[in-house]
Amino acid sequence: MARFNTLSPEARRILINKGTEPPFSGEYDQHFVPGVYVCRQCNAPLYESSSKFPSGCGWPSFDDAIPGMVNRTTDADGMRTEITCANCGGHLGHVFTGEHLTAKNTRHCVNSLSMQFIPEAEYQQNYETAVFASGCFWGTEYWMAKAPGVIATTVGYAGGNVANPTYRQVCNGDTGQAEGVRVIFNPKEISYEQLVQLFYETHDPTQVNGQGPDIGNQYRSVIFYQTQQQQEIAQRVSDSLREKGYNLATKIESLNNFYPEQDLYHQKYYEKQGSLPYCHIYEKKF
């Protein structure tokens, strides 16, 4: 579950009540320093400084967001497109296209008070990313999101050969993708090893190409590592389970790409439904 920071009244007016700060008043309007802009409410990373550009509109402008971290919805008036934090739903601003200001032809117009800036060196020290697949990504995300030290989670697809697949394509089994979850975490609060252990304790890693009643290659059990250190940790934890007698079906694979699921219906599914996973049950194994 998203854990929220205490907001000032003005920040609350914008993030919660969907207000707008006056143009040219925000601290990040003319701010161009290497780093990452995170949500002021939940600390989820939203934009990299490399995507920021001087638009002259009076608000911080970005031509792209970190994949899967910013949602788009049509305003009630049907005219503009609102952008919100995918992790906590906080209001960020609006997105515009067709202005030809950058090669991507997109402008995320964001309130400074919706964000906090983290210099690049500090961000690299405080944030790491892990990707796991353990059956239906709803259940995998449910348990990962609850862990202390986890900043944000995003469901999507990894391990296949089709770029930006749809949910239907993956369900048809034609893409080679596994339903997975990207986890952004603070290693000072939770280690990668603890996340690997949680991964194993919240699904049946002995089931081949499926989880519970969900059968198919897209539901296979995989740890997708991104560094040699992650690979070594995943292997060590896996070996410890084998020594306990578990016949693991889990694969340990290098992460090539992760494609976030674009349909918001699938993101934070159990949090929105207020229900529990049907085939991901916690069982202490370590």
Q: What is the pLDDT of residues 209-218, one digit of tens each?
A: 999 999 999 9
pLDDT digits (tens, 9 = 90+) for 34-83: 999 999 999 999 999 999 999 999 999 999 999 889 999 998 888 899 99
- What pLDDT, on a 0 to 100 scale, did the predictor assign at position 239? 98
> CA-CA distances (angstroms) from residue 211 to 100, 138, 203, 221, 246?
47, 12, 7, 8, 16
CA 139 to chain centre: 15
pLDDT at 189 over 80: yes
The residues annotated as belonging to the active site are 109, 136
Same fold, 9-121 and 127-271: no
Using an 8 Å Cβ cutoff, are 154 and 191 in contact?
A: no
pLDDT digits (tens, 9 = 90+) for 234-247: 999 999 999 999 99
The SS3 call for residue 217 is: helix
DSSP code at position 173: T
pLDDT at 156 over 90: yes
Helix axes 192-201, 228-243, angle to 10 degrees: 40
Best CA proximity match to 136, nearest among 269, 285, 257: 269
CA angle 211, 215, 218 (to 5 degrees): 85
Question: Which residue carries 């919805």 as its tokens?
Answer: 73
Enter the CATH code of domain 127-271: 3.30.1060.10
CA 81 to chain centre: 21
Question: Residue 271, exposed/middle/buried by CB under 10 A (0-12, 13-18, 19+)?
Answer: middle
Q: Which CATH architecture has domain 9-121?
A: Beta Complex (2.170)
Alpha helices of the chain — where are they, by DSSP H? 9-15, 120-126, 137-146, 167-171, 192-201, 228-243, 269-273
- What pLDDT, on a 0 to 100 scale, did the predictor assign at position 145? 94
DSSP code at position 22: P
Instruction: Taking the CA atoms of 49, 55, 61 and 65 in sequence, report the sign of the dihedral they define.
Output: negative
The SS3 call for residue 240 is: helix
Using an 8 Å Cβ cutoff, are 98 and 149 in contact?
A: no
The CA distance from 157 to 220, in Å, is 12
- What pLDDT, on a 0 to 100 scale, did the predictor assign at position 78? 86
The CA distance from 33 to 95, in Å, is 22
Best CA proximity match to 65, nearest among 30, 25, 93: 93
| 264 pLDDT tier (thresholds 50, 70, 90) | confident
Where exactly are the structural domains of the chain?
9-121, 127-271
The SS3 call for residue 158 is: strand
pLDDT at 198 over 60: yes
Mean predicted confidence (pLDDT) in 141-158: 95
What is the model's pTM?
A: 0.87
